[in-house]
Amino acid sequence: MNISSIISLLGGLAFFLFGMTLLGDGLKRVAGSKLETILGKLTSTTLKGILLGTLVTAVIQSSSATTVMVVGFVNSGIMKLANAVGIIMGANIGTTATSWILTLADVDGGSFTSATFFALIAFIGILLYFFCKKTPQKNVGMILLAFSVLMSGMQSMSAAMDPLKESPLFLELMAAASNPVVALLVGLLVTAVIQSSSASIGILQALSVTGLISYSAALPMILGMCIGACVPVLLSAIGANINGQRTAFIYLYFNIIGSLVLMIPFYLYHILVGFDFMSAPATSVGIAVANTVYKVAATLILAPFAGWLEKLAVATIKDKSGEEDEVEENFLDERFLNYPPLAVEQSARTVVQMATATRKNLNKSLDLLSKFDQVKHDKIMSREDLVDRLEDRLGNYLVKLNTHKLSGEETRQTSMFLQSLTNLERISDHAVNLAELAAEMNEKGLSFSDDASQDMSVCVDAVREILDLAYQAVCEDDAEIASHVEPLEEVIDVLTDRLKVQHIERLRSGQCTLELGFIFNDCINNFERVADHCSNLAVAVLERRDKRIVAAHNYLRTLKKGDRADYRQLLQEYEVKYLRPEKQ
């Protein structure tokens, strides 16, 4: 094998791996987020998990990628460890689709060869990709191009490997590989390096063109390749919580035990009786058949023992610190960054978690103004730390997510999340301010006058309502509810201005002390700022739904000065509810 053949082999391998990656990405884009997101939702039984794992892996062309996603699901609390076992088994079956696709490279139809067929597919793909304006057609074009690149790489590798049958060194290597243990280790090491069992089996299929790979070497190599596929999954579990690590070990144990369960009786029978086909040269189709039979058989044998695989993983990775209840901040798993629909969905869950904590904090702080409770005060401070951590983590996560290729809708969603987390954190800060003001009043034994308490009560009710509206709009992504926020914010602005004037009158008449006056004014200012941030949250929801809204301030200005009947009606309702006639 000369230098030219080596370069051709490396070039073919490059095209093969690149085509595989492009094909998986293109199929995922066509399928959208559904095949990925349902993994975490429809796994109540082992059978359902097997079917889902098979389907998803057949689409994304990688059992390792599917299992890495499952590790992320378990790590983030979306999926229970028991439900992950079925998906892992199905992922092994789904990955056999690639080996069957690669058998097309050997098809020869006379003058119309497979190379001609792949060239035609590539031409159709480039027409769709360059001349179609709609994304779905472009994605189909990408799939066709990727398929052609994959097959061209496969054929280049096969052509480059053909001279190996003349190489004495290669003959010696194949003789050594006839030992099943050696062959298994070779398959394991190759897959550990490439980090894809589909790719390594494809290379084995390309190598079979030499006619020197017998089934006695190919079969244990296939088993080793399946075990080697566990390496990227185990690497992805580094840094995961205990259940995430256990999920990776379930994948490892499934492949090791499956290999042993099938390999031991098979070779015992071969030693005692013998299989004639073992000495025959392996073919591309034969390798695809062996790969499929092994993975389906291993799944059928081990599926009834899914619970035992889980127990084995639990026994391997023991809980030493009570991490089983760890659910607070695991949603933002960086494994999902390579699958934007999942990352966006997890970001949305984190925004909801942050909004819930913020809402609780503000409501508790409003309670403290009428009746101080030290336990509630301390809980507010503790929850504020959670909100700050979530803001920091989600902000960094969204920055990383935006470096990946996102759809237009995903870009709008991440933009809304970034706006939301800033405003939620600021609302929580105002809740802390109010809690501190309540603590100061309690410490100094101060209390508002009856009139001030009554005014405060009206404003508190309005703030609670606008907070509930903003919370519901963000958590449910509801534009209709979001449209109710701005009219109420306008009423709160008027109300707070009026209350400040009335309190100044009480100061002048001696009904209130100067010290209480400062506290009252600080409370009202915090109410006003909370309403402003609720308005920002609502506008962020509306911006995502309405592409015509390009600037929040201009939108609000137009809304308030315009003649929209729905806005005016809501404004009037809130005025009647919260604006009492000014005192004479």
First-residue to last-residue Cα distance in the chain = 103
pLDDT for 327:
38
User: In the predicted model, is pLDDT for residue 484 greater than 60?
Assistant: yes
Could you read off the pLDDT of 432-464 as tens digits, one per residue?
999 999 999 898 888 888 888 888 899 999 999
- pLDDT tens, position by position, 302-341: 888 888 988 898 888 876 544 443 334 466 777 778 778 7
Query: Which phi and psi (to 5°) does residue 281 adopt?
Result: -65, 135
pLDDT of residue 44: 63
What sign for the dihedral angle of Cα 25, 29, 30, 31?
A: positive
Which tops the pLDDT comparison, 503 or 396? 396
pLDDT band at 359 (very low <50, low <70, confident <90, very high): very high
Least confident of 368-382, 383-397, 502-516, 553-567: 553-567
Pick the CATH number of 447-584 from 1.20.58, 1.10.730, 2.30.30, 3.40.50: 1.20.58
Residue from 240, 253, 245 nearest 309 by CA: 253
CB of 358 closer than 8 Å to CB of 428: yes
Contact 348, 318 (CB under 8 A): no
* pLDDT reported for residue 460: 93
Which among 25, 85, 89 has a CA at the least distance from the CA of 55? 89
pLDDT the model gives residue 20? 62
Whether residue 424 contacts residue 358, with contact meaning beta carbons closer than 8 Å, is answered with yes
Cα 24 to Cα 80, 194, 230, 506, distances in angstroms: 27, 16, 19, 71
CA atoms within 13 A on the CB side of 159: 15
What pLDDT does 319 receive?
A: 67
pLDDT digits (tens, 9 = 90+) for 532-545: 999 999 988 888 76
Q: How far apart are CA 408 and CA 401, in angstroms?
A: 14
Q: CA-CA distance, 321 to 23, in Å (whole number)? A: 43
Whether residue 552 has pLDDT greater than 60 = no
Please tell me the total number of residues recorded for the chain in this structure: 584
Asked whether residue 424 carries a pLDDT value surpassing 90, the answer given is: yes
Q: How far apart are CA 369 and CA 434, in angstroms?
A: 8
Within 8 A by CB and 6+ apart from 350, the residues are 331, 332, 390, 393, 394, 397
User: Does residue 53 or residue 421 have the better pLDDT?
Assistant: 421
Q: Which of 238-252, 379-393, 421-435 is least confident?
A: 238-252
Residue 312: Cβ-neighbour burial (10 angstroms; 0-12, 13-18, 19+): middle
Residue 32 zone, left/alpha/beta (φ > 0; ψ -120 to 50; rest) = left
Separation of alpha carbons 162 and 92, rounded Å: 30
- Among the residue ranges 56-65, 436-445, 502-511, the one predicted with the least confidence is 56-65
Lowest mean pLDDT among 4-18, 75-89, 187-201: 4-18
Q: State the chain's mean pLDDT as an integer.
A: 79
Q: Please report the pLDDT score of residue 78 as a whole number.
A: 65
DSSP string covering 460-527? HHHHHHHHHHHHHHHHHT-HHHHTTHHHHHHHHHHHHHHHHHHHHHHHHHTSS-HHHHHHHHHHHHHH
Question: Exposure of 524 by Cβ count < 10 A (0-12 exposed, 13-18 middle, 19+ buried)?
Answer: buried
Q: Which helix (H) or strand (E) holds 417?
A: helix 408-444
Residue 351 predicted with pLDDT over 50? yes
Better-scored residue on pLDDT, 153 or 533: 533
Residues 284-302: tens digit of each pLDDT = 888 889 888 988 998 899 8
Cite the residue boundaries of each domain of the chain with CATH code 1.20.58.220: 332-445
For residue 558, pLDDT over 70 is answered with no
Q: Band the pLDDT of 16: cuts 50, 70, 90.
A: low
Instruction: List, for residues 248-281, the tens digit of each pLDDT value.
Output: 888 889 989 988 888 888 888 888 887 888 888 8
Whole-prediction pTM: 0.60
Pick the CATH number of 332-445 from 1.20.58.220, 3.40.225.10, 1.10.10.10, 1.25.40.10: 1.20.58.220
